Structure 1
Amino acid sequence: MPKTIITPPGTGQPIAPFVPGTLADGIVYVSGTLPFDQENNVVHVGDAAAQTRHVLESIKRVIESAGGTLDDVTFNSLFITDWSNYAAVNQVYADYFPGEKPARFCIQCGLVKPDALIEISSVAHIGGGGRHAY
């Protein structure tokens, strides 16, 4: 099965051996996405809502670069550092997924950089390949 690496324009260099997304058989797998700028610095330190918005915008860019939309997302994995941020994360999350919600899970854990409060990975089904803009 052929696969295509998805790297939206303006994406910074990853801090580990991974790519932002992979497209295979009409499915986009989005790597764990943290609230990083292009130099891998954490943005919006201390603001879980703003970090969640930043992460979801980054995920949206990956999926759109593969020819899909957030409506195509079928599954999200959420990792938060503190349950006290859960309500803020969910409020922003609901803005990005206003209709039928994707399946998901959410766990509390430590993240690669202490100032990061949220990490999300996604799976989107965009059909039989669709239009690709890499």
Structure 2
Amino acid sequence: MPKSVVIPPGTGKPLAPYVPGTLADGVLYVSGTLAFDRDNNVVHVGDAAAQTRHVLETIKGVVETAGGTMEDVVFNHIFLKDWADYGAINGIYAEYFPGEKPARYCIQCGLVKPDALVEIASIAHLGRPA
């Protein structure tokens, strides 16, 4: 199966061996995304809403680089550090998915850096092969 790597312009070096996105058979898989700057430092420390917006903007950049829009996102995997941030995360999330919502799940867990409050991975169906 042909596949292609999707790396938006200006993307920093990943923290581990992965790419921001992979497109295969018209399906875009967006790696778990945290609120990192280009040097992998957490931004918006202590602010779950701002971190969520940063994460979703980063995901949007991957989706758009692959030729899609956020309306093409069909599934989100959401990881949060503390259930106390659930409302703030959902408030921002709703801004990025105002119409029909993608399927999703949300779990509480530890994240790769202590100041990270939310991580999201996405799947978008672009409807065309890589």
One fold, TM greater than 0.5? yes
Structure 1: state its 5+ residue gaps.
Answer: none
The answer for the alignment partner of 2:34 in structure 1 is 34
> Which structure 2 segments of 5+ residues have no match?
none
Runs of 4+ in 1 over 3 A off after TM superposition: none
Q: Secondary structure at the match of 2:23?
A: strand
Q: Partners in 2 of 1:79 and 1:92 — Cα distance? A: 15
Aligned to 1:111: 111
> Partners in 2 of 1:15 and 1:92 — Cα distance?
25
Report the Cα distance in structure 1 between the residues aligned to 2:104 and 2:47, rounded to whole angstroms.
22
Q: Does 1:44 align with 2:44?
A: yes
TM-score, normalising length: structure 2:
0.99
SS in 2 for 1:111: coil
1:85-106: per-residue Cα shift (whole Å, max 9, x none)? 0000000000000000000000
1:48-84 CA distance string (max 9 Å, x none): 0000000000000000000000000000000000000
Give the % identical residues.
71
Shift of 1:129: 3.7
Equivalents in 2 of 1:62, 1:128: separation in Å? 16
Q: Is residue 128 from structure 1 mapped to residue 123 from structure 2 by the alignment?
A: no
User: How many Å separate the matches in 1 of 2:71 and 2:91?
Assistant: 17
1:29 CA drift (Å):
0.1
Whether 1:90 and 2:90 are equivalent positions in the alignment is: yes
Aligned partner letter, 2:80:
I
Determine if the alignment matches structure 1 residue 14 to structure 2 residue 14.
yes
Q: Which amino acid aligns with 2:108?
A: Q
Amino acid aligned to 2:52: T
**How much is the aligned-residue C-alpha RMSD, in angstroms?**
0.8
TM-score of the superposition, structure 1-length normalised?
0.96
**Number of residue pairs matched?**
130
SS of 2:9's equivalent in the other structure is coil
